[in-house]
C-alpha cells in the first residue's frame, strides 16, 4: 500500500470514526448542557478552559516532534516514545500541581476548584495518550487511535447518562471525562502491545534532544491555547458563569468540528515532511491538495451555521441556550481561519520552521487578551466571539506569509473561490427553507452542497479521492 492509499485509508476510517465520536460528543453536550443549565455548564467550561492551558504546557509540542522524529528515524521509535513517556510522566506531576495551586489564587467557587483537581487526572491521561498516538501517526495507522477514541466517547456518553440518572453533580460530569480518557489511553497502549510494550525511559540526553526540538513548537502551542481558551476565563471573571455558559456551548461545538483539520493534517504530516526534503514540486502538490480539502470542509460549515445556528443550539442544548445561536453564527467564521491555518502550521512544522511562529502567536495572544478586556465589559459574549474570529484570521495571515516567504509555497485559491460561491448558494437555499425541521435542513444541506460541487466540477470524484497527490516510488 503506497502513501496515498495509506492517507486515504486513515482519513476515511478516521472520518467514519469521527462521525461516531461527533454524534456521541453532541449527545454529551446535549445531556450536560440541559442537565447542568447555563450557569452549571459555565462552571464546567471554566474548569476545562483553565486546565486546557496547562494541558498545552504538558504537551510542549512533543507530539508533532515525535511524529517527525519517528518518520525520520523509524529504527529509534521505541527509544523516542519511551523517553517521551518518561518525560511526560515527570513533567505532569509538576505542572498539574502548579495548576491546582494557582487555582487557589484565582477567586473561583469551591466546586470549580474541586473540578480542577479531578479534571487534572483527565488532563494527565490526555497528555500521556499522545505517546501511542505518535507511533500510530508516524506509521499511518491512525485507525487504531480512531477505534480507541470511539470507545472513549461511548464510555463517556454512558457515564454521563448514568450519572444524570443517579441525579449526579457537576463533579460527576468531570469524573465521566476522567474515566473516558483513562479508557482511551489504556486501549491505545494495549494496541501498541502488538509491536512492543511501551515503558517509560529516563535517558537525560534523549530528553534534552526532545525538549530542544519541541520547545519552539511547544511555545507556539501554549500561545495558541492561551488565545483559544483565555477568553472563557476573562468572560467568567468579568461576567460570571451565565455568560460563560452561553458562550461555551457553541464554542464546544466548534471544538468538535476542529477535529477534522487536525485528523487530516496529522495524516499528511509524515508525507509532506518527506516531500519537503525530496521534491519541492511534490510538496507543493500536497500542500495545495490539503488546502483544497479543508476549504471544501470549512466553507459549507460556515454557511450552514449562519442560517441554522439558533435552531441547532436549541435542538442540542434546549431553549435556555437560545442566545448561543447568534454567538455560534459569529464564531463559525473562525472555522475558515482555523481550518486553513492547520495547513500552514503543519507545513511549517514539517519544514522544521516552527520557531518562526512564536512572534505572530505572541502578538495574537497580546491582541486577544487586551481586546477581550476592552470589549467584554460592554459587549459580553458577543464581543468575545468577534475577537475570536479576528484572532484566528490574524494567525492565518501571518502563518500564510511564513509559508510563502520561507517555503515558497503559495495556495491557489481557485477551489476556495468556487467553494465559497457554492456555499453561499447552499446557505441561501437553506434560508429560503428555514421553516423546515432542523434535521431535514442539515440533510438537505449535504445533498445541495455535494450536488453543486460535482455539478460545477469544482472537484471531480477522482480529485476527491486523490486530494493528496500520489507520491511516486523512487
**Whether pLDDT at 139 is above 80:** no
- Of 244 and 133, the structure prediction assigns the larger pLDDT to 244
Give Cα 119 to chain centroid, integer Å.
19
Report the run of H or E that residue 180 belongs to, with start and end.
Answer: helix 170-192
pLDDT of residue 12: 65
pLDDT of residue 266: 74
Phi, psi torsion values for 452, nearest 5 degrees: -70, -35
Residue 116 resides in a domain: yes
Residue 355 resides in a domain: yes
Neighbours of 105 (CB within 10 A): 7
Residue 95 resides in a domain: yes
Prediction pTM value: 0.81
Distance from C-alpha of 333 to C-alpha of 336, rounded to nearest angstrom: 6
Largest CA distance in the chain: 64
Distance from C-alpha of 211 to C-alpha of 218, rounded to nearest angstrom: 9
Residue 474 resides in a domain: no
Residue with cell 489564587: 105
Residue 470 resides in a domain: no
* Cα separation of the two ends of the chain: 15
Percent of the chain's residues with pLDDT above 90: 45
Percent of the chain's residues with pLDDT above 70: 91
Burial 255-278 (b: 16+ CB within 10 A, else e): bbbbbbbebbbbbbbbbbbbbbee
**Whether pLDDT at 462 is above 60:** no
Name, in order, each residue with C-beta under 8 angstroms of 17's C-beta and a sequence gap of 6 or more.
143, 146, 147, 149, 150
Q: What angle do CA 373, 376, 378 make, to 5 degrees?
A: 115
Q: What is the DSSP string of 390-440?
A: HHHHHHHHHHHHHHHHHH------HHHHHHHHHHHHHHHHHHHTTTS-HHH
- Of 265 and 102, the structure prediction assigns the larger pLDDT to 102
**Whether pLDDT at 6 is above 60:** no
Q: Could you tell me if 346 and 272 are in contact, meaning their C-beta atoms sit under 8 angstroms apart? A: yes
Cell numbers found for residue 138:
508516524
Per-residue model confidence as pLDDT tens digits over 276-310: 888 888 888 889 888 998 999 899 999 999 999 99
Q: Could you tell me if 332 and 306 are in contact, meaning their C-beta atoms sit under 8 angstroms apart? A: yes
**Whether pLDDT at 261 is above 50:** yes
The residue-averaged pLDDT of 380-407 equals 92
Distance from C-alpha of 195 to C-alpha of 73, rounded to nearest angstrom: 17
Q: Could you tell me if 290 and 343 are in contact, meaning their C-beta atoms sit under 8 angstroms apart? A: yes
pLDDT of residue 264: 81
**Whether pLDDT at 470 is above 50:** no
Q: Which of 15-19, 284-288, 361-365, 419-423 has the lowest mean pLDDT?
A: 15-19
Q: Could you tell me if 46 and 246 are in contact, meaning their C-beta atoms sit under 8 angstroms apart? A: no
**Whether pLDDT at 257 is above 80:** yes
Mean pLDDT of the chain: 85
Residue 471 resides in a domain: no
The residue-averaged pLDDT of 320-338 equals 93
pLDDT grade for 174, boundaries at 50, 70 and 90: very high
pLDDT of residue 157: 94
Look up the domain containing 362 and give its range: 3-465
Distance from C-alpha of 296 to C-alpha of 312, rounded to nearest angstrom: 21
**Whether pLDDT at 47 is above 70:** yes
**Whether pLDDT at 463 is above 60:** no
With 0-12 / 13-18 / 19 or more C-beta atoms within 10 angstroms meaning exposed / middle / buried, residue 200 is middle
**Whether pLDDT at 461 is above 70:** no
* Number of independent structural domains in the chain: 1
Distance from C-alpha of 13 to C-alpha of 255, rounded to nearest angstrom: 20
Q: What angle do CA 274, 278, 280 make, to 5 degrees?
A: 100
Residue with cell 512572534: 359
The residue-averaged pLDDT of 109-120 equals 94
Q: Could you tell me if 430 and 374 are in contact, meaning their C-beta atoms sit under 8 angstroms apart? A: no
CA distances from 426 to 80, 180, 471 (A): 48, 37, 35
pLDDT of residue 154: 92
Distance from C-alpha of 408 to C-alpha of 150, rounded to nearest angstrom: 39
Residue 473 resides in a domain: no
pLDDT grade for 417, boundaries at 50, 70 and 90: very high
**Whether pLDDT at 459 is above 70:** no
pLDDT of residue 214: 77
Q: Which of 15-24, 68-77, 122-131, 257-266 has the lowest mean pLDDT?
A: 68-77
Cell numbers found for residue 211:
525538549
Name, in order, each residue with C-beta under 8 angstroms of 274's C-beta and a sequence gap of 6 or more.
71, 471
- Of 42 and 263, the structure prediction assigns the larger pLDDT to 42
The residue-averaged pLDDT of 8-14 equals 62
**Whether pLDDT at 389 is above 60:** yes
Residue 254 resides in a domain: yes
pLDDT of residue 422: 94
Amino acid at each position: 500500500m503506497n502513501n496515498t492509499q495509506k492517507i486515504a485509508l486513515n482519513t476515511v476510517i478516521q472520518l467514519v470514526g469521527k462521525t461516531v465520536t461527533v454524534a456521541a460528543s453532541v449527545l454529551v453536550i446535549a445531556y450536560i448542557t440541559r442537565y447542568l443549565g447555563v450557569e452549571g455548564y459555565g462552571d464546567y467550561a471554566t474548569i476545562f478552559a483553565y486546565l486546557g492551558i496547562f494541558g498545552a504546557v504538558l504537551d510542549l509540542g512533543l507530539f508533532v516532534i515525535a511524529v517527525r522524529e519517528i518518520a525520520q528515524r523509524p529504527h529509534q521509535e521505541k527509544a523516542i516514545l519511551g523517553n517521551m513517556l518518561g518525560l511526560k510522566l515527570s513533567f505532569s506531576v509538576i505542572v498539574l500541581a502548579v495548576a491546582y495551586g494557582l487555582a487557589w489564587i484565582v477567586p473561583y467557587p469551591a466546586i470549580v476548584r474541586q473540578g480542577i483537581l479531578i479534571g487534572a487526572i483527565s488532563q494527565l491521561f490526555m497528555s500521556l495518550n499522545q505517546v501511542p498516538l505518535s507511533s500510530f501517526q508516524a506509521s499511518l495507522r491512525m485507525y487504531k487511535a480512531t477505534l480507541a477514541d470511539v470507545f472513549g466517547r461511548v464510555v463517556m456518553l454512558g457515564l454521563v447518562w448514568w450519572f444524570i440518572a443517579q441525579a449526579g453533580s457537576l463533579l460527576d460530569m468531570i469524573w465521566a471525562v476522567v474515566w473516558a480518557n483513562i479508557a482511551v489511553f489504556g486501549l491505545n497502549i494495549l494496541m501498541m502491545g502488538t509491536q512492543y510494550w511501551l515503558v517509560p525511559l529516563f535517558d537525560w540526553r534523549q530528553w534534552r534532544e526532545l525538549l530542544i526540538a519541541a520547545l519552539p513548537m511547544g511555545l507556539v502551542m501554549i500561545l495558541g491555547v492561551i488565545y483559544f481558551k483565555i477568553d472563557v476565563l476573562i468572560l467568567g471573571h468579568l461576567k460570571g458563569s451565565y455568560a460563560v455558559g452561553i458562550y461555551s456551548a457553541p464554542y464546544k461545538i466548534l471544538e468538535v468540528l476542529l477535529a477534522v483539520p487536525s485528523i487530516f493534517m496529522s495524516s499528511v504530516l509524515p508525507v509532506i515532511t518527506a516531500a519537503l526534503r525530496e521534491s519541492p514540486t511534490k510538496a507543493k502538490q500536497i500542500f495545495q491538495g490539503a488546502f483544497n480539502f479543508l476549504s471544501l470542509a470549512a466553507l459549507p460549515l460556515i454557511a450552514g451555521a449562519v442560517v441554522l445556528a439558533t435552531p441547532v443550539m436549541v435542538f442540542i442544548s434546549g431553549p435556555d441556550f437560545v442566545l448561543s445561536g447568534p454567538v455560534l453564527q459569529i464564531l463559525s467564521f473562525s472555522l475558515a481561519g482555523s481550518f486553513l491555518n492547520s495547513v500552514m502550521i503543519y507545513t511549517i512544522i514539517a519544514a522544521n520552521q516552527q520557531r518562526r511562529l512564536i512572534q505572530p502567536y505572541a502578538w495574537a495572544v497580546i491582541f486577544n487578551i487586551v481586546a477581550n478586556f476592552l470589549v467584554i465589559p460592554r459587549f459580553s459574549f458577543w464581543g468575545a466571539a468577534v475577537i475570536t474570529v479576528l484572532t484566528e484570521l490574524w494567525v492565518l495571515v501571518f502563518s500564510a506569509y511564513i509559508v510563502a516567504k520561507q517555503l515558497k509555497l503559495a495556495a491557489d485559491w481557485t477551489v476556495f473561490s468556487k467553494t465559497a460561491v457554492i456555499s453561499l448558494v447552499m446557505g441561501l437555499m437553506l434560508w429560503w427553507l428555514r421553516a423546515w425541521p432542523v434535521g431535514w435542513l442539515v440533510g438537505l444541506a449535504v445533498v445541495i452542497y455535494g450536488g453543486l460541487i460535482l455539478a460545477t466540477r469544482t472537484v471531480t470524484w477522482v480529485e476527491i479521492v486523490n486530494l493528496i497527490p500520489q507520491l511516486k516510488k523512487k
